[in-house]
Structure 1
Amino acid sequence: MASPRPLAPLAERIEELLAPGGPLPLVLAGDPVLRVGTARYEGQLDPALLARFVEALRRTMHAAPGVGLAAPQVGVELRIAVVEDPATVPEEVRQARGRVPQPFRVLVNPSYEPVGSARAAFFEGCLSVPGYQAVVARHAEVRLTGEDEHGRPLDEVLGGWPARIVQHETDHLDGMLYLDRAEPRSLAADPNVLRRWAQPTPAEAARALDFELP
């Protein structure tokens, strides 16, 4: 039996990934790349290739559609993610979830730490786990640190939905899926979330499905 083909160098693999053009194929749950964690970005890609990779992440996120995408979700083990949220939601949802528009941005080597002890729980989904959502209790506020794609430092406090997005995408870079933090009894297929649990908060779902909220 032939030996497994060794992985090509990172830059070569990314060039091959980008070659077809258009949105990149998404990696789904069960692929080890989503579980092994990522390497810090330390200039492994030349600036032009990094810019092309970031643009491909942006296009892929928009096409999905989603509000965040981490490099492992397209098979690349680098500590890079992109986020953007137009937050086109009803006012009552915006108020309950703290969901406000977020411009497109690139997170390089991001990390977060909680600010205070408050937690917030809402239904959450993932492009790598299509078809389902579950309630996840996360820190209500976090301090985000890292860099942008130009090496400029990031250090800011985020709350509401922007804090949730940062936690979700940074978790991807640590080999975690949202299901690792989710309330198991809340797991629901997308049609049921839309039909039964579309309220601004998951309080009704918690009562009906018998799980606790923070």
Structure 2
Amino acid sequence: MSSRESILAAVLKNQPPASPLPDISTFKGVRQDIVSKYSETFTGIGGQLFQAKRFAEISDLVRKNFDTTKRIITTLPELSDSFELLDPEADPHSFDDVELAIIEAELAVAENGAVWLPEYRMGQRIIPYICQHFAVVVPTERIVPTLHEAYQIIGAGDYGFAAFIGGPSKTADIEQALVLGAHGPISMTVFILDQVTDKNLTFTPSSENK
């Protein structure tokens, strides 16, 4: 047994006794007007949001709001007729010229405007950070009121890599001047899909989507 394995085994052996988790039922939110709440929060942190009933509407919105002469990639087969379908086996360096990336979010949180993105939704983990503009598709039923409820859904999942992302990359560290795109995408867009039109978008807990 190596030193590392010995240390980890000793730590595992000397765990404190288990204690019951606190009752967080008081933190449960309400789903009434949840789309409006999410929209208000997300646009308040610098994002832009559109509602659509089908993928064709999303394609049209992309063409109206982004430069389609530049490279646009997506993980969604429903959009592959209009945009490049991401190759998960491609060299990550080959995505350095992506203008817009469109992927599917696992869920969205009305409380803070964030979306939950495990790696298998990203296609490749570099995608949400290397593109100039970032967009996600979120079916309406995947919006949860609070972060507590989001963790109740995703907490049992086994993730190699995942992240909550809320709004475009921004910083105000230097002279308190807000700079967008400082560490990642300049803009972030959420497309709320009001009507699920594909079985692949049916929501299931992340622990079942390893």
CA radius of gyration, larger in: 2
Which of 1 and 2 has higher RCO (CA within 8 Å, sep 6+)? 2
